[in-house]
Amino acid sequence: MRQGHWPEAIAIYRQLVADAPTDPVLAARLAELERGADHAAAGAERDARLARLRLLLRRIQGRRRKA
């Protein structure tokens, strides 16, 4: 999901799998989406931590310049 609509896509595929539980293609796609969503969430969390660390570094550097 390049555009980040993981929850919506997963919800749709869950309904499709519920409607056709014996369809292996749908089940495989749902599993793929769920794995991708997990990776996307981990990546977003990592990016947020990195942004906080960069902000902290800028603050430290600013304090050193003033001293």
| Residues 6 or more apart whose Cβ sits within 8 Å of residue 66 | none
Predicted pLDDT at 47 = 78
Q: Which of 64, 16, 8, 15 is nearest to 37 (CA)?
A: 8
Position with higher pLDDT, 5 vs 26: 26
Quickly state the pLDDT bin for 62 (edges 50, 70, 90).
Answer: confident
For the chain, give the DSSP string: -TT--HHHHHHHHHHHHHH-TT-HHHHHHHHHHHHHHHHHHHHHHHHHHHHHHHHHHHHHHHHHHH-
What's the whole-number mean pLDDT along residues 25-52? 84
Domain boundaries, the chain: 6-66
State yes or no: pLDDT of 25 exceeds 80.
Answer: yes
Question: In whole numbers, what is the pLDDT of the chain averaged over residues?
Answer: 84
